[in-house]
Amino acid sequence: MARGVVATGAEGSATLKWIATIGLLLVVAIPCLFIVVQAIFPEFGSGSFAAPFSMFFKTLADLDLFSLAGNTLLLGVGTVVCAGILAVPLAALRALFRVPGALIWDALLLIPFMLPPYIAALGWIMTLQPRGYLEQLTDIHLAPLLFSVTGIMLIMGLNTFSVIYFVLSRTFETIGARYSDVGRVFGAGQWRSFWRITLPLSMPGLAASLLLVFAMSIEEYGTPAALGRRIGFEVLVTGIENRISEWPIDLPGSATLSLVLVSMALVAFMLQRWLLTRRDYRIVGGKPQAFDKKELGVWALPVSLLFAFIAFLATGLPILAILATALSRTISGGLAPSNLGLDHFKELLGAGSDGLVALGNSLVLGSTTALLAGLLGAITAYSVVKGRGRFRIVLDALSITPNSLPGVVVAVGIILAWNQPWLPITPYNTPFILLLAYICILLPQPVRYATASLHQLGDNLEAAARVCGSGPLKAFVRIIFPLILPSMVTAMILVFAVASRELVASLLVAPVGFQTIAVFIWQQFDQGSAGLGMAMAFCAVLITTLIPLALISLLRWASKGSVAGLR
């Protein structure tokens, strides 16, 4: 650990350290602890400590485990490769050149975050399967590609590549043309300076976002469940989900498999740490930087076409499939004009509809989660990057753990922890339990984003503040926080989008009689009203996209461009 760590000049604030520690203990450590206990003591759900380890080794010795773990690894790596190939060129183009309509592409590429993966997968199935929308329009179908391991990787790559795109384009931009211009002055070609200067300096952003995509894809349930089950491709998370959602329930087995999944993500996390601590990546030194982007010239059209094509695949096609299903009165009626109408939307938005209540619930929960997770995430990342001592690695590891815990396992851990009979007061069976679950599941996102930007922040800024007489807390609030704010806004938008459509944990821990967007959609599918479910999905995507966009415009207007990165 100690080798290669850049000596930091700041000591960090003790208050912030304690906030981070207590917050993480409460939100992450407690549910995780109960999952470990459940894995060891199979009867723990009923409050008994009988027969320790009896199920633990049985699950680990199961031959299925190897194929599940192997498939998980294959899917994770494949998805990262697909997402990387899609994202890196786009991010470089977006950051270093004046791409026509850049803000529009940004907005469009934000939408995959808002699309619940199981809805997107369903959209792809209904488009590409025989007699799907594509065949109804063009007489070809792509079922063999769709129902294959490659197909699952491609679709998951399309769902996740915008994570890399946004982090990386911001990082490339912060590095600016400035450092590579220095290289150019010394005679390097454009490619050479990109490969030797810009790309290496953006390693923190790239590594962080690749890791995030890896962790997201090994934790993702919707797509592998919708596509993989038909071809017998099971991964750890579907194995875990099946053990929990198919009677007879096997809580210890799913807890044990989750521990395997968590250890895989922790290995990826150690790898990322090792990459980050090998060198010094600090590039924000307090000197003013010029943001000069180059012109594309004759390449403007091909580059625009590339953006358009990828944006269509990632955003346009799933949205159109959702809209087509929402507008179809019956699924068997197909795209015939006589079968299309606004019936489902009228039913959804009609007076007394459960849908509107669910929508309101999710928006309140989503925005509260975004604020709290963003704050806790920034404080945690600050304590980890700028603090000292051994506790840092514990905090860091705790903050990434939920990323690899399937939502359903977090849900079980939370129920086990917060429904103990001896607790005098508990958030269980109130909406606060969903807030706890969402913050736990989504905390890794703001932590990753904040860590990446803090790694690029020189200590001289904070040191200067301390010399001028401000305390560590004030230095954080006045200097550090504004500088990482652009990254935090991106992270909080992501948290808002995912929290307002989270399904698997919500299904299990939602208080009695409480509906969220995703639970409502899922129940519509379960009733066989796919059209109504898709109408809700469409409205939800629209709202969760427009609110953050409005927020960004508002911030840009309020800050008049003085906050870097919000231009």
Could you tell me how many residues make up the chain? 567
Compute the Cα dihedral for 373, 379, 380, 382 and give only its sign.
positive
Side-chain half-sphere of 82: how many Cα atoms within 13 Å? 23
Torsion of CA 92, 542, 431, 496, to 10 degrees: 20
Least distance from another protein to the Cβ atom of residue 374, Å: 12
Among 3, 7, 46, 63, which residue interacts with another protein (rule: CB under 8 A)?
46
C-alpha to C-alpha distance for 416 and 505, rounded to whole angstroms:
13
Rule CB under 8 A: is residue 527 a binding residue for another protein? yes
Side-chain half-sphere of 461: how many Cα atoms within 13 Å? 23
Rule CB under 8 A: is residue 295 a binding residue for another protein? no
Q: Which is nearer to another protein, 183 or 431 (CB)?
A: 431
Please say whether the beta carbons of 234 and 71 come within 8 A. Answer: yes
DSSP assignment of 497-528: HHHTT--HHHHHHSPTT---HHHHHHHHHHHT
Rule CB under 8 A: is residue 90 a binding residue for another protein? no
Q: Considering only the C-alpha atoms of the chain, give the largest distance between any 2 of them, rounded to a whole number of Å.
A: 74
Rule CB under 8 A: is residue 131 a binding residue for another protein? yes
Least distance from another protein to the Cβ atom of residue 35, Å: 11
Rule CB under 8 A: is residue 247 a binding residue for another protein? yes
Among 29, 37, 45, 477, which residue interacts with another protein (rule: CB under 8 A)?
45
The closest alpha carbon to 406, from 240, 211, 225, 161, belongs to 240
The closest alpha carbon to 485, from 402, 408, 558, 392, belongs to 558
Rule CB under 8 A: is residue 148 a binding residue for another protein? no
C-alpha to C-alpha distance for 89 and 215, rounded to whole angstroms:
22
Rule CB under 8 A: is residue 481 a binding residue for another protein? no
Rule CB under 8 A: is residue 507 a binding residue for another protein? yes
561's CB contacts (< 8 A; 6+ apart) are 567
C-alpha to C-alpha distance for 32 and 401, rounded to whole angstroms:
9
Side-chain half-sphere of 44: how many Cα atoms within 13 Å? 27
Long-range Cβ contact pairs of 188-197 (< 8 A, separation 24 or more): 194/92, 194/96
Least distance from another protein to the Cβ atom of residue 321, Å: 11
Q: Which is nearer to another protein, 19 or 464 (CB)?
A: 19
Among 89, 200, 316, 334, which residue interacts with another protein (rule: CB under 8 A)?
334
Radius of gyration of the chain (CA): 24
Rule CB under 8 A: is residue 355 a binding residue for another protein? no
Rule CB under 8 A: is residue 346 a binding residue for another protein? no
Tokens standing for residue 422: 């001896």
Least distance from another protein to the Cβ atom of residue 428, Å: 8
Among 75, 93, 226, 237, which residue interacts with another protein (rule: CB under 8 A)?
226
- Please calculate the CA angle 297-298-302 and round it to the nearest 5 degrees: 115
Least distance from another protein to the Cβ atom of residue 565, Å: 22
Site size toward another protein, by CB under 8 A: 64
Rule CB under 8 A: is residue 431 a binding residue for another protein? yes
Rule CB under 8 A: is residue 405 a binding residue for another protein? no
Q: Tell me which stretch binds another protein (CB under 8 A): 211-219, 382-390, 417-425, 472-480.
A: 417-425
Among 523, 543, 549, 555, which residue interacts with another protein (rule: CB under 8 A)?
523
Among 249, 305, 542, 554, which residue interacts with another protein (rule: CB under 8 A)?
249
Rule CB under 8 A: is residue 124 a binding residue for another protein? no
Q: Which is nearer to another protein, 77 or 507 (CB)?
A: 507
Q: Which is nearer to another protein, 77 or 551 (CB)?
A: 551
Q: Per DSSP, what are the bridge partners of residue 340? A: 328
Tokens standing for residue 12: 């960090």
Among 53, 179, 432, 481, which residue interacts with another protein (rule: CB under 8 A)?
432
Rule CB under 8 A: is residue 212 a binding residue for another protein? no
Least distance from another protein to the Cβ atom of residue 245, Å: 4
Count CB-CB contacts under 10 A for residue 320. Answer: 14
C-alpha to C-alpha distance for 119 and 221, rounded to whole angstroms:
12
C-alpha to C-alpha distance for 472 and 230, rounded to whole angstroms:
56
Q: Tell me which stretch binds another protein (CB under 8 A): 88-96, 201-209, 224-232, 376-384.
A: 224-232
Least distance from another protein to the Cβ atom of residue 241, Å: 9
Least distance from another protein to the Cβ atom of residue 61, Å: 16
Q: Which one-letter DSSP state was computed for residue 511?
A: P
Please say whether the beta carbons of 77 and 215 come within 8 A. Answer: no
Least distance from another protein to the Cβ atom of residue 364, Å: 5
What are the distances in angstroms from CA 532 to CA 149, 319, 345, 539?
30, 15, 7, 11
Q: Tell me which stretch binds another protein (CB under 8 A): 4-12, 323-331, 439-447, 491-499.
A: 323-331
Rule CB under 8 A: is residue 353 a binding residue for another protein? no
Place of tokens 């009228």: 346
Find the binding residues for another protein in span 363-382 (CB under 8 A).
364-365, 367-368, 371
What are the distances in angstroms from CA 167 to CA 9, 92, 177, 384, 461?
26, 11, 17, 20, 23
Q: Which is nearer to another protein, 148 or 429 (CB)?
A: 429
Rule CB under 8 A: is residue 54 a binding residue for another protein? no
Rule CB under 8 A: is residue 528 a binding residue for another protein? yes
Q: Which is nearer to another protein, 200 or 431 (CB)?
A: 431
C-alpha to C-alpha distance for 152 and 228, rounded to whole angstroms:
7
Q: Tell me which stretch binds another protein (CB under 8 A): 21-29, 85-93, 199-207, 423-431.
A: 423-431
Compute the Cα dihedral for 90, 96, 97, 103 and give only its sign.
positive
Rule CB under 8 A: is residue 514 a binding residue for another protein? yes
Q: Which one-letter DSSP state was computed for residue 281?
A: -
> Which residues in this chain contact another protein in the complex, by CB under 8 A?
45-47, 122, 125-126, 129-132, 143, 225-226, 229-230, 232, 242, 244-249, 251, 329-334, 360-361, 364-365, 367-368, 371, 408, 412, 415-416, 419-421, 427, 429-432, 435, 507-508, 510-514, 523, 525-530
